Structure 1
Amino acid sequence: MLSTIEAKLLIVDDLPENLLALDALIRGERRQVFQASSGEEALGLLLQHEFALAILDVQMPDMNGFELAELMRGTEKTKHIPIVFVSAAGREMNYAFTGYESGAVDFLQKPLDIQAVQSKVTVFVELFRQRQAINEQVIALERSRKEQEILLSELRAAQDDLQKAVRMRDDFMSIVSHELRTPLNGLVLETQLRKLRLSKGDMAAFTADKLKAMTERDERQINSLVRLIEDMLDVSRIRTGKLSIRPTRFDLSALVSRVLENYSAQIAAAGCEVSLSAAEPVTGLWDEFRIEQVVVNLLTNALRYGAKKPVDLRVLATPEGACIEVQDHGIGISVPDLSRIFQQFERVSSNEVTQGLGLGLFITEQIVASHQGTIEVESRPGQGSLFRVYLPLESRSVDNG
């Protein structure tokens, strides 16, 4: 690895013949020698390249070797470059001492000892290559550390997501078992009561009016079960991209009116007065079954959290299409809850109400989005909520089923 690292060497001398001679002396494999005939030219090269060693002639006009060394030591980019001085002056000039004071690592006297020069240059080149190799290893280690930190962060995030998914699954199963048990218990109790009465021969309990009431109760319980199952199936369809949209042309006002009629028993049981204001007709190309789901989900939500106060439904024609508004005057939604009510399995919690699978608004938003529409909510705690659905009059047909 070390042998593959290129080392750049700088030689500075005002005499061309000295430069040529020294160049020939120190040139070698994976070495690149740069020549400068003055201190100024040397500075230009020093700012452009990273050198393993600088060999400076002491006695140069304009800027001598010592002055160049001082400038190198005062510059961040060049202050760590090893400097070797070369001089033809006699030892009595004490240049060596001055050179070491200027930051030199060695001092060579002319005429140069070929073997000594080559040996010393080789040492500095190898030291440079070792430093470069260490630097590359440090950079690689730092890069590896950062990659490991990112990976660890991703693993922690994945672990958090997994734990959240497990909690959501457990919560969902708990909610499902509770929500399914409610209508099932009603059906079981009704069945046991009827068997008991039959066993006692109490046929007075099965008059036409009473049978009709029994049938209506059974129908409500069965519809609750069917709706819970359909919600779970719709979530599965949404996840796999198989929620089918089959548009047909129909009147939105008529659909909302029909929903209110069909849900009259639930409205009465909730103790809410529901009013409808609808422009007629508001006709568009939508999936009638899916839009009915939207209206039912929003209405059910309003009844559930409406605190037995009036609920207002409005169907409006807009320049862009149609708008459905469902407004209750119940418990409202807090700001933190507003940011998550359209997520799966999220339910508004209060001391009075916590019902449902927490899928209704999630499914509603997905259905609206599949019609290229939007859904908005305005709410304040204690002042109720207003859900507003915008639908374009023409929606693109989507069938992934």
Structure 2
Amino acid sequence: MQAEQPTKLLIVDDLPENLQALNAVIRGPGREIFQAGSGEEALALLLQHDFAMAFLDVQMPGMDGFELAELMRGTEKTRQIPIVFVTAAGKELNYSFKGYEAGAVDVLYKPLDSRAVRGKVEVFVALWEQREAMRRQVLALEQARQAQEAMLAELNVAQGQLQRALAMRDEFMSMVSHEMRTPLNTLYLETQLRKMQLERGNMAAFGAEQLQRMVARDDRQIQSIIRLIDDMLDVSRIRSGKLSLRPGWVEMSGLLRRVVHDLTPQASTAGCSIGLDAGTPVSGWWDEFRIEQIVVNLLTNAMRYGAQMPVSVVLTVQEEQVLVEVRDQGPGIAPELQQKIFEPYERGVGNEVPSGLGLGLYISRELAEVHQGSLTVRSVPGEGAVFTLALPRSDAPPI
């Protein structure tokens, strides 16, 4: 808590002996006395300090006490300071009337009655201290109110975040249930069908060609489940700061050719084609599995939302980095959604119902940033989208 400041009193008189005499009368514990020998000097002090009371000599060379009082009454900072005029002139000059007219609370004639002066000072100092105590209380209440409002705002934000987290949790569980159910249902129906054929003794249903198709279908469903589980594990690693890389010496153009080759059958099923421009060999110190994961995510999205139009992959080699661009010719992405799609559980919208957990782009950007790179998107609605993976080149030898 801030310590209380001393109560400040001002004496203005052009005679040092008068200043000294009045100082001796009004001094007291908890008080700080300031002295000025002219009106100009007094104004400087008035602008620097907050005074509880001011004693002004009426007859001073230059600026007299009445002129100084007029200036004090015309200034916001000093307008409320109680003024007591002090004069050695006779009462017949009627300075009392002029002093009260100038806004003084009293006019004292010399020689001063010490007891009366101390009594007046006690009254005005007490009023000042009460006013200051009230001001401090009001300030403390206002600070408490502001702190309460800030805390309430924080609580509202926290409540909103909690509600959003709960909604995301419920939506996530719903998506997981749906995405898991599809391949599991297929596997279950396949096993039921085989069980039925075995019970009937229909071994012809398990010829070499039929078994190959069964194994291929089983493999697709199992891989779907594995991808879902891997995505959830990656999100857990990202949020706990445990996502690690296993870097090695990787040749990028070869990696891209392999990924495009592996996804070509999937592209044909989706009714599109994948073009590759990666003629310049370039190697870097990257995690091959994770880079492949990013490119597969980008190509899968391009095929899903590319309106069955051709998809292209372009490798650009720069001095300090390599760029991998995946371009589709779909409906594009609205500007307000271009950052939102990188958030977890955000799924794109297109002509078909979005599939997956909405984690692909979120994980891909995190993987790019762990590589000290970036993943960005450029898109104009109606003109498709371009996702750019930027990776720094490094000459570090493999461990």
TM range (shorter): over 0.9
Size of the aligned set, in residue pairs, is 399
Which residue does the alignment assign to 2:314? 314
Matched, 1:85 2:96: no
CA distance in 1, matches of 2:365, 2:3: 65
Deviates more, 1:387-396 or 1:175-184: 387-396
CA distance in 1, matches of 2:394, 2:43: 74
Which residue does the alignment assign to 2:110? 110
| Aligned partner of residue 342 in structure 2, secondary structure | coil
Deviates more, 1:13-22 or 1:161-170: 13-22
Which residue does the alignment assign to 2:250? 250
Displacement, 1:104? 0.6
| Aligned partner of residue 100 in structure 2, secondary structure | helix
In the superposition, relative to structure 1, how do residues 20 and 391 fare at CA in structure 2: closer, same or farther (>3 Å)? closer
| Aligned partner of residue 66 in structure 1, secondary structure | helix
Displacement, 1:221? 0.6
The equivalences for 1:320-331 within 5 A come to 320-331=320-331
Kept in 2: contact 1:284–1:394 (CA 8 A): yes
Unaligned runs of 5+ in 1: none
Q: Deviations for 1:320-349, whole angstroms, at most 9, x for unmatched residues? A: 333322222223222222121111111112
In the superposition, relative to structure 1, how do residues 313 and 118 fare at CA in structure 2: closer, same or farther (>3 Å)? same
Higher relative contact order (CA 8 A, sep 6+): 1
CA distance in 1, matches of 2:386, 2:219: 30
Which amino acid counterpart does residue 251 of structure 2 have in structure 1? Answer: D
Displacement, 1:396? 7.3
Displacement, 1:351? 4.3
| Aligned partner of residue 62 in structure 1, secondary structure | coil
| Aligned partner of residue 394 in structure 1, secondary structure | coil
Kept in 2: contact 1:371–1:396 (CA 8 A): no
Matched, 1:375 2:383: no
Displacement, 1:117? 0.9
Which amino acid counterpart does residue 163 of structure 1 have in structure 2? Answer: Q
RMSD, aligned α-carbons? 2.5
Kept in 1: contact 2:249–2:398 (CA 8 A): no
In the superposition, relative to structure 1, how do residues 30 and 2 fare at CA in structure 2: closer, same or farther (>3 Å)? farther
Which residue does the alignment assign to 1:95? 95
Displacement, 1:393? 2.7
Displacement, 1:4? 4.8
Displacement, 1:102? 0.6
In the superposition, relative to structure 1, how do residues 387 and 397 fare at CA in structure 2: closer, same or farther (>3 Å)? farther
Matched, 1:132 2:132: yes
In the superposition, relative to structure 1, how do residues 280 and 42 fare at CA in structure 2: closer, same or farther (>3 Å)? closer
Q: Deviations for 1:278-324, whole angstroms, at most 9, x for unmatched residues? A: 22533222111111111211111112112222222233433333332
| Aligned partner of residue 341 in structure 1, secondary structure | helix
Which residue does the alignment assign to 2:358? 358
The equivalences for 1:195-274 within 5 A come to 195-274=195-274
The equivalences for 1:46-85 within 5 A come to 46-85=46-85
| Aligned partner of residue 340 in structure 2, secondary structure | coil
In the superposition, relative to structure 1, how do residues 112 and 394 fare at CA in structure 2: closer, same or farther (>3 Å)? same
Displacement, 1:251? 2.1
Displacement, 1:153? 1.9
Displacement, 1:216? 0.5
Deviates more, 1:311-320 or 1:295-304: 311-320
TM-score by length of 2: 0.92
Q: Deviations for 1:106-131, whole angstroms, at most 9, x for unmatched residues? A: 12233322211111111111111222
In the superposition, relative to structure 1, how do residues 242 and 395 fare at CA in structure 2: closer, same or farther (>3 Å)? farther
Deviates more, 1:163-172 or 1:263-272: 263-272
Displacement, 1:397? 10
Matched, 1:148 2:148: yes
Percent of matched pairs sharing the same residue: 58
Which residue does the alignment assign to 1:181? 181
CA distance in 1, matches of 2:179, 2:101: 88
Which residue does the alignment assign to 1:303? 303
Kept in 1: contact 2:264–2:273 (CA 8 A): no
Kept in 1: contact 2:285–2:397 (CA 8 A): no
In the superposition, relative to structure 1, how do residues 352 and 15 fare at CA in structure 2: closer, same or farther (>3 Å)? same
CA distance in 2, matches of 1:330, 1:43: 76
| Aligned partner of residue 263 in structure 1, secondary structure | helix
Deviates more, 1:217-226 or 1:390-399: 390-399
Kept in 1: contact 2:302–2:328 (CA 8 A): yes
Matched, 1:394 2:394: yes
In the superposition, relative to structure 1, how do residues 320 and 87 fare at CA in structure 2: closer, same or farther (>3 Å)? closer
Displacement, 1:143? 2.3
Which residue does the alignment assign to 2:284? 284
4+ long deviations beyond 6 Å: 395-399
Which residue does the alignment assign to 1:38? 38
Unaligned runs of 5+ in 2: none
Which amino acid counterpart does residue 302 of structure 1 have in structure 2? Answer: A
